[in-house]
Amino acid sequence: MAKTRQLTPEVVIETAARLANELRDASRITLTDLAAELNIRVPSLYNHVKGLDGLRRDLTVWGLQQLLAATRQAVLGQVGRDALLAVAHAYRAFAHAQPGVYSLVLKAPPPEDAQLTALSNELLLILQLVLASYNLQGEAALHAIRGFRSVLHGFVSLETGGAFELLLDRDESFNRLVEIYLDGLSKN
């Protein structure tokens, strides 16, 4: 049928993810670096990804799938506040483990990309279900999702961006923030 691939899609994407995480920002990957890492010439990359934009898009899908899996795992068998706390910690752990990939995942998916949009919606659906078990439904739940995402994204993006430099325990800061928000949610 064809010349056997030496590179599988998995190797390409995982190598790109590693580079992105080392740079701590996916917008800094270059095809030049990726090709060098894979021991092929730059134009050969076009057999695997649709240019730089395609690579970023593939990385985003890959990252969203990981975040989704981690979130599902975290809420397994939990409801209410415990489930929300578990989501919060899984989210932060993901951003710490994969800072470069994280920088892609939080961006809003382009509406014309069905796969990305679907993954993004699945995450929202999980949050919606968990909030339902926290007695939040309808518009209140939607406002709560926006708030919860803001809290999580705001903290981890400032944190991984190096904004919290003081010698003050970051876990403690995060826990206080999440607890204040969840307490406030339950008191409405």
Partner DNA sequence: GTATATAATCTAATTATATTAGTTATTGGC
Partner DNA sequence: GCCAATAACTAATATAATTAGATTATATAC
- Counting contacts by CB under 7 A, is residue 43 touching DNA? yes
Among 16, 19, 26, 48, interactor with DNA by CB under 7 A: 48
Which residue, 26, 125, 144, is CA-closest to 72? 125
- How far apart are alpha carbons 59 and 54 in whole angstroms? 8
DSSP secondary structure letter of residue 123: H
- How far apart are alpha carbons 151 and 163 in whole angstroms? 15
**Which residues make up the interface to a second copy (CB under 8 A)?**
27, 106-108, 111, 139, 142-143, 146-147, 149-155, 157-158, 161-166, 168, 170, 172-173, 176-177, 179-181, 183-185, 187
184 makes contact, choosing from a second copy, DNA, none, with CB < 5 to 8 Å by partner type, with a second copy
Number of H helices, E strands in the chain: 8, 0
- Counting contacts by CB under 7 A, is residue 186 touching DNA? no
- Counting contacts by CB under 7 A, is residue 37 touching DNA? no
Tell me how crowded residue 127 is: count the other CB atoms within 10 A of its CB: 21
Q: Rank residues 57 and 92 by Cβ distance to DNA and give the closer one.
A: 57
Q: Rank residues 40 and 81 by Cβ distance to a second copy and give the closer one.
A: 81
Question: Residue 16 Cβ, how far from a second copy at the closest point, in Å?
Answer: 19
Give the CA distances from residue 60 to residues 51, 55, 64, in Å, rounded to whole numbers and listed in that order: 14, 9, 6
96 makes contact, choosing from a second copy, DNA, none, with CB < 5 to 8 Å by partner type, with none
Phi (first) and psi of residue 48, to 5 degrees: -120, -35
Extract the tokens encoding 60. Answer: 């985003």
Cα-trace Rg, the chain = 19
Question: Residue 10 Cβ, how far from DNA at the closest point, in Å?
Answer: 13
**Reduced to 3 states, what is the DSSP secondary structure of residue 109?**
coil
Q: Rank residues 10 and 172 by Cβ distance to a second copy and give the closer one.
A: 172
Question: Residue 136 Cβ, how far from a second copy at the closest point, in Å?
Answer: 12
73 makes contact, choosing from a second copy, DNA, none, with CB < 5 to 8 Å by partner type, with none
* Binding footprint of DNA on the chain (CB under 7 A): 1-7, 29-32, 39-44, 46-48, 51-53
